[in-house]
């Protein structure tokens, strides 16, 4: 119901009728404001959904042992959980280049064009900026993407509606790479979504660090 101040309130209406000699005389109605309860239930449902989605991701990462399995868990398994149409994992090399380790939903031509990116090359991209700035890049629409990166005009499909999130993968202050996700809706990402994606990026960084340490241990044992 719309309140006098213009706000929308959730209410429960109870009504009963009074009859005399089988004829309706009047009814009695009670209206209770349950907005706070509905808000709490919404928060609780959102928290439960977030926890369930996070469990799916952490379970996939925990089960991954090999490098290929970890990359698959961080890309192929993350994309459907966050309803992303595309997802990609880039890893930072020692030569100041960023290599595409795995992608989901990318066309072959797109994968080839972004297979290796240089941090020192002219022009930039959301992925490179996320790594260089060591902070997440949130882009609400294709129009916003092209305003910030006009040189990417030839690489996008005109008329599409989506938002882009690029998250640096950081462990102990060291940047390992970036995770990029595209959602098929042009809108500002909510604080809840951003917080969830940042949490996923943290788990992704931990998984990559586990791989690195495992590789070091294997080399030392040889």
DSSP states along 155-170? GS-TT---EEEEEEEE
What is the CATH number for 118?
3.30.450.40
Q: Is residue 30 part of a domain?
A: no
Is residue 26 situated within a structural domain?
Answer: no
Cα distance between residue 204 and residue 130, in whole Å? 15
Q: Kindly tell me if the per-residue pLDDT of 132 is higher than 80.
A: yes
Mean pLDDT of 118-126: 87
0.85 exceeded by pTM: no
Per the structure, the complete domain to which residue 62 belongs is given by: 39-221
Query: What is the reported pLDDT for 153?
Result: 87
What percentage of the chain has pLDDT greater than the value 70?
Answer: 91
Residue 29 within a domain: no
Separation CA 136–CA 97 (nearest Å): 19
Q: Quote the Cα angle for 196-198-202, to 5°.
A: 115
Q: What's the pLDDT at 140?
A: 95
Q: What is the pLDDT of residue 125?
A: 92
Distances (CA, A) of 177 to 1, 31, 123, 185, 205: 49, 55, 18, 25, 8
* Whether the Cβ atoms of residue 164 and residue 145 lie closer than 8 Å to each other: yes
Q: Indicate the helix (H) or strand (E) that contains 54.
A: helix 35-63
Specify if 20 maps to a domain.
Answer: no
Q: What is the pLDDT of residues 76-121, one digit of tens each?
A: 999 988 889 999 999 999 889 999 999 999 989 888 888 999 998 8
pLDDT value, residue 221 = 66
- If one counts every other C-beta atom within 10 angstroms of the C-beta of residue 16, the result is 8
Instruction: Evaluate whether residue 6 is within a structural domain.
Output: no
- Identify the pLDDT of residue 42: 64
Rounded to an integer, the average pLDDT of 25-45 is: 78
Average pLDDT over residues 11-38: 86
> In the chain, how many domains are there?
1
CA separation for the pair 110, 101 (Å, rounded): 14
Confidence of residue 143 (pLDDT cuts 50, 70, 90): very high
Does 195 map to a domain? Answer: yes
Per-residue pLDDT tens for 166-209?
999 999 999 999 999 999 988 888 888 899 899 999 999 999 99
Question: Does 123 have pLDDT greater than 90?
Answer: no
Q: Is residue 199 part of a domain?
A: yes
- Give domain status of residue 212, yes or no: yes
166 is written with which tokens? 């690029």
Instruction: Write down the pLDDT at residue 160.
Output: 86
Q: The tokens 């599409």 sit on which residue?
A: 160
- Which has the higher per-residue pLDDT, 165 or 52? 165
């Amino acid at each position: 119901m719309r309140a006098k101040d213009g706000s929308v309130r959730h209410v429960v209406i109870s009504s009963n009728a009074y009859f005399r000699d089988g004829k309706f005389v009047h009814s009695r109605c009670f209206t209770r404001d349950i907005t706070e309860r509905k808000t709490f239930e919404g928060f609780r449902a959102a928290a439960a959904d977030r926890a369930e989605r996070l469990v799916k991701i952490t379970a996939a990462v925990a089960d991954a042992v090999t490098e290929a399995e970890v990359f698959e868990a961080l890309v192929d398994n993350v994309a459907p959980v966050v309803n992303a149409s595309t997802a990609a994992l880039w890893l930072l090399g020692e030569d100041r280049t960023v290599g595409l380790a795995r992608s989901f939903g990318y066309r072959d031509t797109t994968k080839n064009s972004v297979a290796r990116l240089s941090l020192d090359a002219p022009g930039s991209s959301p992925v490179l900026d996320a790594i260089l700035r060591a902070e997440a890049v949130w882009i609400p629409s294709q129009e916003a993407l092209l305003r910030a990166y006009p040189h990417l005009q030839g690489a996008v499909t005109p008329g599409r509606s989506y938002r882009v999130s690029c998250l640096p993968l950081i462990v102990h202050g060291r940047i390992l790479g970036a995770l990029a996700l595209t959602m098929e809706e042009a809108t500002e990402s909510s604080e809840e979504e951003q917080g969830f994606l940042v949490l996923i990026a943290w788990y992704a960084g931990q998984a990559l660090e586990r791989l690195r340490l495992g590789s070091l241990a294997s080399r030392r044992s040889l």
